[in-house]
A = this chain, B = another copy of it.
């Protein structure tokens, strides 16, 4: 079994390409504009919803993280109201959103989006270091669960057709009311869709549409797709999006978002083992036991240049790590390295990271039975780690015989 187990250490599926979007490339440039000027009235809260905290982190930062996972989106312009400019700048600084910049918005949503677009146009904003992209994605700051797949589909459709937007089936029947508040008629659900975000446009088309907008459009215009149709004659390609595109509107949506994030953090675990037979065996047994509940990758610990271990930690896909350690109870160098890599990857700046160190103590080869009290060094490390939002747990297994039932 040890041989088979060792082969298993190279995962079959391409590691880290599940969410991170990995290898997709586009032969045109793409940037994004996130209007984040809303006041959050419907939330019944003083804090605009894009700045509400989810697991101690502002919602807008979670949305930005999703965009930054997608390597082919170059810059992300966040448009906020004047009074939130400093707050937004500090969020970008604190969470290390290196591809995001803040732009000051205006009174209406459409004027704010237009301000965001202007940041890419040299003569409008002479100090700007941004380059005008071929395609621009527009997305709500308060739709945090956007995945690369839908971003890719709207961006490529926009390049081909000039404009594209995500749609979803209608959840409720839509009715037209007459002036007295009675039902005039119900719309046939099959013919209509809810228009959601993200939407994408070739930059020149959406910019031209905004240049022609009237004050009425800026004030009451429903959405960008309508404006490009009206002023540029561009009929957007509509693309079925996933249900996760929903907009955080009410307090209940914040509750739902927080629960979904918690769920996603516990969805995958990365197990590191040394080269010893027992460690590898235990890693594989754990994988078997856990894989019905979550995604499990098992990797042999190594820090060479091509190391999948370093990739796994820096990918942002894992917030749960297990290190399986044999007969070494002082403070294994590997644990120190692992903690450093987690810190460097800034994982715990985003969410709490859980690291479990499993100590396997073979009583037949070890000098004595080890007790938990003996781990003083790791205790110190755990205290330090806790300050940095990393929860370090230890599990000690004293055994006399490996269970070989699976052989």
State whether B183 touches A223 (Cβ < 8 A): no
**CB nearest to A262 among chain B residues:** B255
* CB of A301 within 8 Å of the partner chain: no
Given known A-B contacts A175-B225, A252-B246, A252-B260, A235 and B182 have beta carbons under 8 A apart: yes
* CB of A94 within 8 Å of the partner chain: no
| Residues of chain B within 8 A of A163, CB atoms compared | 183
State whether B175 touches A238 (Cβ < 8 A): yes
State whether A250 touches B255 (Cβ < 8 A): no
Given known A-B contacts A174-B193, A186-B223, A181 and B42 have beta carbons under 8 A apart: no
Interface centre among A178, A195, A260 (most CB of B within 10 A): A195
Cα distance, A249 to B259, chains bound together (Å) = 16
State whether B177 touches A238 (Cβ < 8 A): yes
Copy count, this protein chain: 2
The 8 A CB mask of A40-78 against B (1 = contact, 0 = none) is 001000000000000000000000000000000000000
Nearest CB on B from A276, distance (A): 40
| Residues of chain B within 8 A of A181, CB atoms compared | 237-238
For chain A, which range describes its interface: under 10, 10 to 19, 20 to 34, or 35 or more residues?
35 or more
State whether A186 touches B195 (Cβ < 8 A): yes
Q: Which parts of A247-266 form the interface with B (CB within 8 Å)?
A: 247, 249-250, 252-253, 255-260
| Residues of chain B within 8 A of A177, CB atoms compared | 167, 191-193, 238
Nearest CB on B from A217, distance (A): 12
Identify whether the interface residues of A are mostly helix, strand, loop, or mixed: mixed
| Residues of chain B within 8 A of A183, CB atoms compared | 163, 165, 225-226, 229, 235-236, 238
Cα distance, A161 to B253, chains bound together (Å) = 35
| Residues of chain B within 8 A of A225, CB atoms compared | 175, 183, 186
* CB of A194 within 8 Å of the partner chain: yes
State whether A222 touches B255 (Cβ < 8 A): no
Cα distance, A375 to B340, chains bound together (Å) = 51
Q: Which of B170, B173, B189, B237 contacts A182 (CB 8 A)?
A: B237
* CB of A7 within 8 Å of the partner chain: no
Q: Which of B186, B223, B256 contacts A173 (CB 8 A)?
A: B223
* CB of A171 within 8 Å of the partner chain: yes
Q: A183-B235, A184-B235, A186-B226 are known; give 6 further A-B pairs, CB within 8 A.
A: A167-B175, A174-B192, A176-B191, A183-B236, A188-B222, A253-B256
